[in-house]
Amino acid sequence: MHLQASHRPGDSAVARTIVWGGAYVGEVIRRNAEVGLTWVDYDDYAAAIPMHPARTGARTVHTYARLCWPDGLSSNPFAEVLRRILHGPGASVHGHARRELGPQRFDCAG
């Protein structure tokens, strides 16, 4: 899916795609990780980090939840799905999952 000019992330069909796609990608990452990952509601995640910019921002469909690693890093598969929708094939959700599960992980929160 690539976002058409007449659609926006707040549209119900786009929002459903972000939530379903992000949850699916997140679960693939969670179930295939070598360590235990946990889903954390985004509001709880933001409240736990004193300087997190989301504390003052509104919750949106692409900030639904975070997938947290035991070492404190986190991933936002919902935002990755949104990026794919907005930017097309160059924004690979598969690539995101591979990076998350690979030997070198990146801090997606920053």
**Which one is predicted more confidently, 10 or 76?**
76
Taking the CA atoms of residue 37, residue 38, residue 42 and residue 45 in that order, the dihedral angle to the nearest 10 degrees is -80
Instruction: Give mean pLDDT, residues 3-14.
Output: 61
Q: Give the SS3 label for residue 13.
A: helix
**Which one is predicted more confidently, 100 or 104?**
100
Q: Is 0.85 topped by the overall pTM?
A: no
Taking the CA atoms of residue 35, residue 103, residue 50 and residue 39 in that order, the dihedral angle to the nearest 10 degrees is -40
Predicted local confidence at residue 28, as pLDDT: 93
* Ranges of each domain in the chain: 12-101
pLDDT in tens, 32-86: 988 889 999 888 887 787 666 655 456 677 777 889 988 888 888 998 999 898 8
pLDDT in tens, 18-29: 999 999 999 999
